[in-house]
């Protein structure tokens, strides 16, 4: 897990924060937020909030009381304790792409399968830059619909020994995730003490939380498992076309979801989220890696700190159809600000392509390279007299070179970042090596990593119990 001890890049003035603060207060109190679930409406009514139909009109002070119940930071356990994570503070936790129905492998784009899911989980396990394979690394379209969540959770639990994300398609799916996690971690008490599942709960923006998401959220909160409350704002579609309006709406949505979570389990960890981009207003299609999304991301970090909440944003987002220059620059246009903001939880950090419709193997490698570079870039320099290497200057003098200097010889192995994918070969050598561009080289790295993959050890009794659970539940679901 990476600690970002570099300064935060903050761009909002105190006045701007105050305007945004007034913005969400007005939205929740005057327009209100819809909750598509009777239980949620009852909880809000009981807590003294005005409810009219599906709409809850929230008192901002009540919302802030709920905010104060949320832990600013929390731990999560992985089945390999070396992979435990801490969410909040200066820590950054990274997971792979989430939710793509398609995969891309070289020139082939096709529907994702369970085999793809497994391979992407194995890749996630093999790179220490990822703290989690995430959840739905791709949608396994060849697995039966009603029970594929079981296959996915089983794969995450057995092919990786890192934290994973819970299924949120329905309340029963969430319950299955929790049961299987109890098996893996030795019972409910263990995971209530230190959570082991983190789950993505999406708002139906603008300003509506739907029934199925609320059901899943209810299950996870009841088990004290963290929820990542996500307004999904493509400006122009789900929010107005200005960044400040989107930020105020994002606060209204995330904080109202947070209040819902605290009402069912006070103190349940939640993660505040920006997933903020915009439509391409000419094409009408979603646009990722835009300047507006980078600005929104930087503001979000500052707002999260203002309200004392751990937060999620960023990732390797882009709109590109292939793993090309556009995919790379749009991804870094999001990922570098993700580090500047000190983001605590980063989904989609490896493999995202084509606006999230595609999990791309080669892009996965490109993104891991970016994460590796950024970890070095966001590690503070040590600057003291010794670091000035005055002796090396005395040794080399004027117009000479430092290749053979003692100071260099002592450090050359690890003094600089060593790339995974990037090539510095001169042109002739590069041609001799095959003249492959970065994406073609990434294909080779995917094969190599998968060939070298080693499954993390697992207690056979537990593995068997998990497999038994999957089989029983699949039968019960009629798949």
CB closer to a second copy, 56 vs 270: 56
Q: Which is nearer to a second copy, 159 or 328 (CB)?
A: 328
Q: Segment 299-358, which members bind a second copy (CB under 8 A)?
A: 299, 319-333, 336, 340, 354-355, 357
Report if residue 281 touches a second copy, rule: CB under 8 A: yes
CB 198 within 8 A of CB 271: yes
Burial pattern 75-91, b for ≥16 Cβ within 10 A else e, equals ebbbbeeebbbbbbeeb
User: Is 432 among the residues that bind a second copy (CB under 8 A)?
Assistant: no
Kindly report the CA angle at 466 between 464 and 470, in degrees rounded to 5? Answer: 115
CB of 122 to a second copy, least distance (A): 22
CA dihedral 144, 150, 154, 156 (to 10 degrees): 90
From candidates 169, 245, 450, 462, binder to a second copy by CB under 8 A = 245
- Looking at the Cβ atoms of 176 and 253, the one nearer to a second copy is 253
- Considering the rule CB under 8 A, would residue 244 count as an interface residue with a second copy? yes
Kindly report whether the peptide bond that precedes residue 206 is cis, defined as omega within 30 degrees of 0.
Answer: yes
- Indicate the residue among 167 and 239 with the shorter CB distance to a second copy: 239
Which among 187, 152, 192 has a CA at the least distance from the CA of 169?
A: 152
Q: Do residues 231 and 203 touch, judged by C-beta distance below 8 A?
A: yes
d(CA 183, CA 465): 7
Selected from 222, 438, 450, 462, the binder of a second copy by CB under 8 A is: 438
Tell me the per-residue interface mask from 29 to 48 with a second copy, x by CB under 8 A, - otherwise: --xxxx--------------
Do the Cβ atoms of 120 and 32 come closer than 8 Å? no
Confirm or reject binding of residue 242 to a second copy (CB under 8 A): yes
Site track for a second copy across 162-181, x = CB under 8 A: --------------------
- Residues in 412-431 that interact with a second copy by CB under 8 A: 412-413, 415-419, 421-427, 430
* Contact set for a second copy, span 82-101 (CB under 8 A): none
Cα separation, 101 vs 110, whole angstroms = 9
The one among 106, 172, 240, 308 contacting a second copy by CB under 8 A: 240
Token pair of 30 as six digits = 């005057």
DSSP states along 50-77: EEETTEEE--HHHHHHHHHHS-SSEEE-
Determine, following the binding rule CB under 8 A, whether residue 111 of this chain makes contact with a second copy: no
Which of 136, 342, 439, 470 touches a second copy by CB under 8 A? 439
Q: Which stretch binds a second copy (CB under 8 A): 112-120, 123-131, 217-225, 287-295?
A: 287-295
| Ranges within 195-214 binding a second copy (CB under 8 A) | 204, 206-208
In the complex, the smallest distance separating the C-beta of residue 466 from a second copy, rounded to whole angstroms, is 36
Among 179, 212, 265, 393, binds a second copy (CB under 8 A): 393
Beta strands in 246-300 (DSSP E): 270-273, 275-280, 285-287
Q: Measured between alpha carbons, how far apart are the two ends of the chain, in Å?
A: 38
Which of 1, 16, 64, 169 binds a second copy (CB under 8 A)? It is 16
């Amino acid at each position: 897990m990476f600690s970002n001890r570099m300064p935060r890049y903050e761009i909002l003035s105190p006045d701007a924060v105050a305007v945004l603060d007034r913005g969400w207060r007005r939205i929740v109190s005057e327009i209100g937020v819809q909750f598509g679930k009777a239980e949620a409406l009852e909880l809000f009514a009981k807590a003294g909030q005005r409810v009219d139909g599906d709409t809850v009109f929230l008192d901002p002070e009540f919302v802030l009381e709920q905010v104060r119940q949320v832990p600013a930071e929390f731990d999560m356990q992985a089945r390999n304790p070396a992979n435990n994570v801490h969410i909040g503070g200066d820590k950054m936790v990274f997971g792979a792409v989430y939710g793509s129905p398609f995969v891309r492998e070289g020139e082939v784009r096709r529907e994702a399968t369970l085999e793809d899911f497994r391979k992407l989980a194995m890749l996630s396990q093999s790179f220490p830059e990822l703290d989690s394979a995430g959840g739905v690394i791709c949608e396994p379209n060849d697995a039966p619909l009603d029970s594929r969540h079981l296959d996915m959770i089983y794969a995450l639990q057995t092919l990786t020994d890192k934290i994973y994300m819970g299924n949120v398609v329905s309340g029963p799916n969430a319950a299955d995730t929790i049961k299987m996690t109890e098996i893996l971690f030795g019972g409910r008490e263990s995971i209530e003490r230190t959570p082991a599942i983190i789950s993505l709960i999406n708002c139906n923006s603008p300003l509506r939380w739907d029934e199925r998401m609320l059901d899943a959220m209810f299950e996870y909160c009841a088990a004290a498992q963290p929820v990542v409350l996500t307004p999904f704002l493509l400006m122009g579609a789900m929010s107005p076309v200005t960044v400040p309006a989107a930020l105020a709406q994002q606060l209204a949505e995330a904080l109202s979801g947070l209040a819902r979570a605290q009402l069912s389990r006070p103190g349940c960890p939640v993660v505040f989220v920006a997933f903020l981009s915009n439509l391409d207003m000419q094409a009408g299609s979603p646009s990722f890696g835009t300047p507006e999304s980078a600005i929104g991301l930087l503001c979000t970090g500052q707002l999260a700190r203002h309200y004392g909440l751990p937060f999620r944003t960023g990732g390797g987002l882009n709109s590109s159809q292939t793993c090309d220059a556009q995919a790379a620059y749009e991804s870094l246009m999001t990922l570098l600000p993700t580090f500047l903001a000190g983001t605590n939880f980063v989904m989609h950090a490896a493999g995202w392509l084509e606006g999230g419709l595609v999990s791309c193997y080669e892009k996965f490698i490109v993104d891991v390279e970016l994460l590796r570079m950024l970890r070095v870039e966001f590690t503070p320099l040590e600057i003291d007299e010794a670091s000035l290497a005055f002796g090396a200057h005395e040794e080399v003098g004027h117009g000479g070179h430092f290749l053979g200097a003692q100071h260099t010889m002592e450090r050359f192995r690890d003094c600089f970042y060593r790339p995974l994918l990037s090539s510095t070969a001169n042109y002739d050598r590069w041609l001799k090596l095959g003249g492959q561009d970065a994406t073609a080289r990434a294909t080779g790295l995917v094969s190599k990593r998968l060939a070298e993959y080693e499954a993390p050890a697992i207690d056979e009794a537990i593995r068997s119990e998990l497999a038994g659970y999957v089989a029983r539940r699949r039968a019960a679901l009629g798949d």
